[in-house]
């Protein structure tokens, strides 16, 4: 259940999604599973400093998959 993930779980998941370069920012902002599931594109850009639109899209799609698997396991 992604909603119960600790920060370390989120960082591992980022690596598995080939988004490991964003690990330091997620760690700095203590993004846990609950927070991850609520991230929007503005927060990814302004707070987590993910400047590439395609990286934000990739992350948003991966988060959407997580939400879907959580609701419909």
Evaluate if pTM is beyond 0.85. Answer: yes
Quote the pLDDT of residue 72.
Answer: 63
What own/partner pairs with CB < 8 Å and gap ≥ 24 does 53-62 have? 55/19, 55/22, 58/17, 58/19, 59/17, 59/19, 59/22, 62/17, 62/19
Contact criterion met (CB below 8 Å) for 24 and 48: no
The answer to whether residues 37 and 63 touch, using CB atoms and an 8 Å cutoff, is yes
pLDDT of 48 higher than 60: yes
The pLDDT tens digits of the residues spanning 2-29 come to 999 999 999 999 999 999 999 999 999 9
pLDDT for position 70? 81
């Amino acid at each position: 259940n992604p909603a119960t993930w600790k920060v370390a779980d989120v960082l591992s998941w980022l690596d598995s999604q080939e988004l490991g370069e964003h690990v330091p920012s997620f760690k700095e902002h203590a993004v846990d599973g609950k927070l991850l599931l609520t991230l929007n594109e503005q927060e990814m850009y302004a707070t987590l400093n993910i400047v590439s639109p395609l990286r934000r899209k990739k992350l948003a799609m991966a988060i959407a998959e997580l939400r879907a698997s959580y609701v419909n396991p």
